[in-house]
């Protein structure tokens, strides 16, 4: 099932930010809920305690009256005993007082007329049973009136001086929650003000905290993306990062160490393999001229006759044949030497446009064109190596042209792009086939019938040593574009 809100695609920063705000809101809601519950509970306990205090006070007064009355202490005499005292007690305590006999019949009330909601003429059997079964011989009924006002009504025995039940005392008590409701409203108002301010502070703290955490992780992720097997990778140093970020940084630094060791080992193996392949190629190329040289010497030895009148002509042919084969071996040795040696780092500040024009002067082909938008683009490198790059690329472009194709073209162009200069050599020749694209810069690979196939390998070696790049784009039968990119040096 797909994530309906796309939460899984949210960034860590957004998740931390929203989580902290959500936690703050939940905490605020719970605190408000608990506070309101506490207010209601305190109000309930307050009314309960107040009713108990009134009841205890009235019972003490009733006991005093019973102890000092001249009437016999019987249930029937209770209305006579409290005929006047019941109103006095009601006024002192500020509550209604009702006296019932043991069967639930009303004997005396502090009111001549009373509300049906709070006082009944006869007590229900449920209340009488609750009083009898309760260990404290007391029962409290809670409910609401017809106008939704809360009330409590306590029922307990009136006992004589010998603790014998004479009647039932009922105290109706109306709960006035106006004070607590006002306090709750004031609390909610203050709560909203305080937590609105706290919410703003939480948003600010959550923003900066999430940004700080995400920034640390982003710094590590950027370094991981930049990590390369062919380059020197810098380690990350964070002195005051969280423990989790520190563990991640340590893991990355350990990975950098392993990567450097693996890169060194891989480079060593590649060099050894390259030298082995090159040695095989050189040996093969040297063997090729040695065989005709051997056959030529053997043939000359068999046919040598000092008296032959054409001896000088035959000797000349023999020498020329040997010289040609020796020149072939010399070119093989030179090509191998050029590939094996790094370009001389005799850097100088030079104008790329001027050097490229100089390199093109040796070519007489009319179809070679040159274009540049600027006359001065400065870089630092060896003049000879730059000439070598241009000369080799233009030669390859000329050799790639189809002799039967009309309007041959080789275009050289120089373009400035930011802090880089691009040199392009384009032709409309045969192009490079798809299967040869991946091998075009490999040593000893060539599509020509002659040569060692080291030219482009040497050029790439030179360009990369000056922190540049060389790429190509080719379409079979339509042509090829080689692009050399070099860093620009600011003019002083």
pLDDT at 169: 87
- Asked if 453 and 443 count as a contact pair (C-beta separation under 8 A), the reply is yes
- CA gyration radius, the chain: 54
Q: State whether 154 and 21 are in the same domain.
A: no
Choose the weakest-confidence range: 22-31, 82-91, 195-204, 282-291: 282-291
| Cα–Cα distance measured from residue 305 to residue 55, given in angstroms and rounded to the nearest whole number | 156
Given a cut of 50, is residue 416 above it in pLDDT?
yes
Dihedral angle sign, alpha carbons of residues 264, 265, 270, 273: positive
pTM here is 0.38
Q: Who has greater pLDDT, 166 or 182?
A: 166
Complete DSSP assignment for 392-407: HHHHHHHHHS-TTSSS
**Structural domain contains residue 78:** no
Count of all residues that appear for the chain in the document: 492
Residue ending a domain, among 290, 309, 340, is 340
Given a cut of 60, is residue 358 above it in pLDDT?
yes
| Cα–Cα distance measured from residue 424 to residue 482, given in angstroms and rounded to the nearest whole number | 6
pLDDT tens for 119-165 read 557 788 888 888 888 888 888 887 777 777 777 788 888 888 788 88
Q: What is the CATH number of the domain that holds 461?
A: 3.30.565.10
pLDDT at 1: 46
| Cα–Cα distance measured from residue 71 to residue 79, given in angstroms and rounded to the nearest whole number | 11
Given a cut of 60, is residue 5 above it in pLDDT?
no
Share of the chain above pLDDT 90, in %: 7
Confidence of residue 483 (pLDDT cuts 50, 70, 90): very high
Given a cut of 90, is residue 413 above it in pLDDT?
yes
pLDDT tens for 419-458 read 899 999 999 888 888 777 777 777 655 555 444 445 677 7
* Three-class SS state of 85: helix
- Asked if 392 and 455 count as a contact pair (C-beta separation under 8 A), the reply is yes
pLDDT at 133: 86
pLDDT at 72: 85
pLDDT at 481: 92
pLDDT at 427: 92
pLDDT at 230: 59
Q: Give phi and psi for 475, each to the nearest 5.
A: -125, 120
Residue range 175-201: mean pLDDT, rounded:
73
Q: What is the CATH number of the domain that holds 150?
A: 3.30.450.20
pLDDT at 114: 46
Q: State whether 360 and 478 are in the same domain.
A: yes
Please classify residue 166 by burial: count the beta carbons closer than 10 Å to its beta carbon, then call 0-12 exposed, 13-18 middle and 19+ buried: buried
Among 99, 144, 100, smallest CA distance to 118 is for 144
In Å, what is the CA distance from 492 to each residue of 349, 354, 415, 489? 11, 18, 21, 9
**Structural domain contains residue 492:** no
pLDDT tens for 43-92 read 777 777 777 788 888 888 888 888 888 888 888 888 888 887 888 788 87
Residue range 274-295: mean pLDDT, rounded:
65
pLDDT at 451: 47
Please classify residue 67 by burial: count the beta carbons closer than 10 Å to its beta carbon, then call 0-12 exposed, 13-18 middle and 19+ buried: exposed
pLDDT at 385: 84
Given a cut of 60, is residue 480 above it in pLDDT?
yes
pLDDT at 452: 44
* Three-class SS state of 307: coil
Residue range 201-215: mean pLDDT, rounded:
74
Given a cut of 80, is residue 103 above it in pLDDT?
yes
Choose the weakest-confidence range: 22-36, 155-169, 284-298: 284-298
Q: What is the DSSP-derived secondary structure letter of residue 478?
A: T
Residue range 163-172: mean pLDDT, rounded:
86
Q: State whether 212 and 125 are in the same domain.
A: no
Confidence of residue 117 (pLDDT cuts 50, 70, 90): very low
Torsion angle of C-alpha atoms 290, 295, 296, 299, degrees rounded to 10: 160
Confidence of residue 311 (pLDDT cuts 50, 70, 90): confident
Confidence of residue 484 (pLDDT cuts 50, 70, 90): very high
Q: State whether 58 and 115 are in the same domain.
A: no
Residue range 193-205: mean pLDDT, rounded:
79
Q: State whether 475 and 388 are in the same domain.
A: yes
Residue ending a domain, among 288, 309, 340, is 340
Q: State whether 194 and 252 are in the same domain.
A: no
Q: Does residue 327 come out as left (phi exceeding 0), alpha (psi in the -120 to 50 range) or beta?
A: alpha
Complete DSSP assignment for 157-183: EEE-TTS-EEEEEEEEEE---HHHHHH
What are the respective helix, strand and coil percentages of the chain, to the nearest 5? 55, 15, 30
Among 137, 145, 138, 139, smallest CA distance to 119 is for 145
**Structural domain contains residue 436:** yes
Given a cut of 50, is residue 393 above it in pLDDT?
yes
Please classify residue 252 by burial: count the beta carbons closer than 10 Å to its beta carbon, then call 0-12 exposed, 13-18 middle and 19+ buried: middle
pLDDT at 308: 73
Q: State whether 335 and 363 are in the same domain.
A: no
**Structural domain contains residue 434:** yes
pLDDT at 118: 46
- Asked if 480 and 472 count as a contact pair (C-beta separation under 8 A), the reply is yes
**Structural domain contains residue 279:** yes
Residue range 344-368: mean pLDDT, rounded:
83
As for how many domains the chain has, the answer is 4
Please classify residue 47 by burial: count the beta carbons closer than 10 Å to its beta carbon, then call 0-12 exposed, 13-18 middle and 19+ buried: buried
Q: State whether 58 and 187 are in the same domain.
A: yes
Choose the weakest-confidence range: 74-83, 228-237, 344-353, 461-470: 228-237
In Å, what is the CA distance from 306 to each residue of 293, 298, 310, 315, 317? 21, 16, 9, 11, 16
Given a cut of 80, is residue 180 above it in pLDDT?
no
Given a cut of 90, is residue 229 above it in pLDDT?
no
pLDDT at 89: 81
Given a cut of 80, is residue 316 above it in pLDDT?
no
Q: State whether 145 and 194 are in the same domain.
A: no
Q: What is the DSSP-derived secondary structure letter of residue 409?
A: -
Q: State whether 444 and 481 are in the same domain.
A: yes
- Asked if 212 and 206 count as a contact pair (C-beta separation under 8 A), the reply is no
pLDDT at 116: 42
Q: Which of 302-306, 368-372, 379-383 has the highest mean pLDDT?
A: 368-372
22 is in which domain, residue-wise? Answer: 1-68+177-222
Q: Please give the mean pLDDT across all residues of the chain.
A: 76
Given a cut of 70, is residue 345 above it in pLDDT?
no
The angle at the Cα of 450, spanning 447 to 455, to the nearest 5 degrees, equals 70
Residue range 408-413: mean pLDDT, rounded:
92
Paired with 174 in beta bridges are: 151
| Cα–Cα distance measured from residue 267 to residue 229, given in angstroms and rounded to the nearest whole number | 10
**Structural domain contains residue 229:** no
Residue ending a domain, among 316, 340, 364, is 340
pLDDT tens for 319-334 read 777 776 676 667 666 6
**Structural domain contains residue 389:** yes
Sheet of strand 165-174: strand arrangement: 106-109, 98-100, 165-174, 150-159, 138-144
Q: Who has greater pLDDT, 465 or 439?
A: 465
Kindly give the interhelix angle for 311-340 and 455-465, rounded to the nearest 10 degrees.
30
Task: Say how far residue 375 (Cα) sits from the centre of its chain.
Answer: 47
Q: State whether 398 and 461 are in the same domain.
A: yes
Q: State whether 128 and 139 are in the same domain.
A: yes
Tell me the pairing of strands 410-417 and 378-381: unpaired
Counting runs of H as helices and runs of E as strands, what totals does the chain give? 10, 12
**Structural domain contains residue 321:** yes
Q: Which two tokens stand for residue 241?
A: 């990062």
């Amino acid at each position: 099932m797909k994530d309906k809100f796309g939460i899984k695609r949210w960034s860590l920063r957004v998740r931390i930010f929203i989580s902290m705000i959500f936690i703050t809101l939940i905490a605020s809601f719970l605190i408000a809920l608990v506070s309101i519950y506490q207010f209601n509970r305190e109000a309930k306990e307050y009314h309960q305690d107040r009713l108990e205090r009134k009841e205890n006070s009235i019972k003490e007064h009733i006991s005093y009256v019973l102890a000092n009355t001249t009437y016999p202490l019987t249930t029937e005499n209770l209305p006579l005993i409290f005929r006047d005292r019941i109103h006095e007690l009601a006024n002192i305590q500020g509550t209604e007082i009702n006296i019932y006999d043991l069967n639930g019949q009303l004997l005396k009330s502090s009111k001549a007329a009373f509300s049906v909601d709070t006082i009944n003429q006869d007590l229900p059997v449920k209340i009488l049973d609750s009083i009898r079964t309760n260990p404290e011989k007391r029962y409290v009924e809670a409910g609401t009136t017809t106008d939704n006002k809360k009330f409590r009504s306590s029922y307990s025995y009136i006992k004589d001086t010998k603790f014998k039940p004479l009647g039932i005392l009922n105290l109706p008590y109306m709960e006035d929650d106006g004070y607590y409701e006002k306090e709750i409203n004031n609390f909610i108002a203050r709560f909203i003000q305080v937590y609105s301010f706290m919410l703003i502070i939480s948003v600010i703290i959550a923003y900066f905290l999430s940004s700080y955490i995400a920034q640390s992780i982003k710094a590590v992720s950027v370094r991981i993306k930049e990590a390369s097997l062919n380059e020197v990778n810098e380690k990350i140093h964070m002195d005051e990062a969280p423990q989790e970020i520190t563990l991640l940084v340590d893991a990355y630094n350990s990975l950098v160490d392993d990567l450097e060791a693996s890169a060194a080992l891989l480079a060593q193996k590649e060099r050894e393999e390259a030298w082995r392949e090159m040695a095989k190629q050189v040996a093969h190329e040297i063997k090729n001229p040695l065989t005709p040289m051997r056959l030529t010497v053997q043939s000359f030895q068999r046919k040598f006759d000092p008296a032959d009148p054409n001896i000088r002509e035959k000797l000349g042919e023999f020498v020329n044949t040997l010289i040609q084969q020796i020149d072939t071996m010399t070119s093989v040795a030179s090509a191998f030497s050029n590939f094996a040696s790094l370009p001389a780092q005799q850097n100088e500040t030079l104008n790329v446009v001027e050097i490229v024009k100089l390199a093109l002067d040796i070519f007489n082909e009319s179809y070679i064109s040159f274009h540049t938008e600027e006359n001065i683009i400065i870089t630092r490198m060896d003049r000879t190596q730059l000439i070598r790059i241009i000369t080799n690329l233009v030669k390859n472009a000329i050799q790639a042209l189809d002799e039967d194709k009309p309007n041959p073209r080789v275009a050289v162009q120089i373009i400035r792009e930011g802090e880089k200069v691009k040199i392009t050599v384009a032709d409309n020749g045969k192009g490079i086939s798809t299967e040869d694209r991946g091998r075009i810069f490999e040593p000893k690979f060539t599509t020509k019938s002659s040569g060692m196939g080291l030219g482009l390998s040497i050029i790439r070696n030179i360009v990369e040593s000056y922190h540049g790049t060389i790429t190509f784009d080719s379409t079979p039968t339509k042509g090829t574009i080689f692009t050399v990119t070099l860093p620009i040096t600011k003019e002083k």
